[in-house]
């Protein structure tokens, strides 16, 4: 009798061992995601990022709209060769650095420790 060759069939009912081993891990991650600690970290993130993004976008659009619709205002001299457009444009750079610093401080003081603790708890559950 001829010996039958085994052919790997990805659609077969019996899955490879790696896929079976991944299911409990996925369950742990789903539990963590549904947990109160993870939700608190996410809400803290959203509580900072969404308002900060809205304020920064409004500030940027104010600059663009003022440049387009109020050119006389933007040409007005403020000090020496600096006009309003230059001051607002340089303010865009300053506000970008300020926003970056505020985000890093917020993450460091409010989310990083909790996220690290959650990570260690998750790794303990996966062992």
Bridge partners of 77, per DSSP, are: 83
* Domain parsing of the chain, residue ranges: 33-126
Maximum CA pair distance of the chain?
99
pLDDT, one tens digit per residue, over 28-74 is 888 888 888 889 999 999 999 999 999 999 999 999 999 999 999 99
Per-residue confidence band for 18, with pLDDT thresholds at 50, 70 and 90: low
Per-residue confidence band for 14, with pLDDT thresholds at 50, 70 and 90: low
Per-residue confidence band for 125, with pLDDT thresholds at 50, 70 and 90: confident
Token pair 């457009």 is found at 85
pTM > 0.75:
no
Does the CA dihedral 48-51-52-54 come out positive or negative?
Answer: positive
pLDDT in the model for residue 86: 95
Does the CA dihedral 48-54-58-64 come out positive or negative?
Answer: positive
Predicted confidence (pLDDT) at residue 96 exceeds the cutoff of 90: yes
C-alpha 33/C-alpha 31 separation (Å) is: 5
Burial 98-119 (b: 16+ CB within 10 A, else e): eeeeeeeebeeebbeeebeebe
Share of the chain above pLDDT 90, in %: 55
* Residue 76 DSSP label: -
pLDDT in the model for residue 57: 96
For the chain, what is the mean pLDDT?
Answer: 85
pLDDT in the model for residue 32: 85
Q: Region of 76 please: left (phi>0), alpha (psi -120 to 50) or beta.
A: beta
């Amino acid at each position: 009798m001829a010996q039958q060759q085994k052919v790997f069939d990805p659609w077969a009912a019996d899955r490879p061992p790696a896929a079976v081993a991944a299911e409990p891990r996925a369950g742990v991650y789903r539990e963590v995601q549904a947990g109160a600690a993870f939700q608190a970290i996410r809400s803290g993130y959203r509580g900072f990022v969404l308002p900060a993004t809205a304020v920064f976008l409004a500030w940027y659009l104010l600059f663009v709209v003022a440049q387009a619709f109020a050119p006389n205002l933007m040409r007005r001299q403020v000090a020496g060769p600096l006009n309003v457009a230059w001051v607002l444009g340089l303010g865009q750079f300053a506000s970008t650095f300020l926003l970056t610093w505020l985000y890093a401080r917020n993450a460091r003081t409010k989310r990083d420790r909790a996220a690290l603790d959650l990570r260690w708890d998750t790794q303990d559950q996966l062992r």
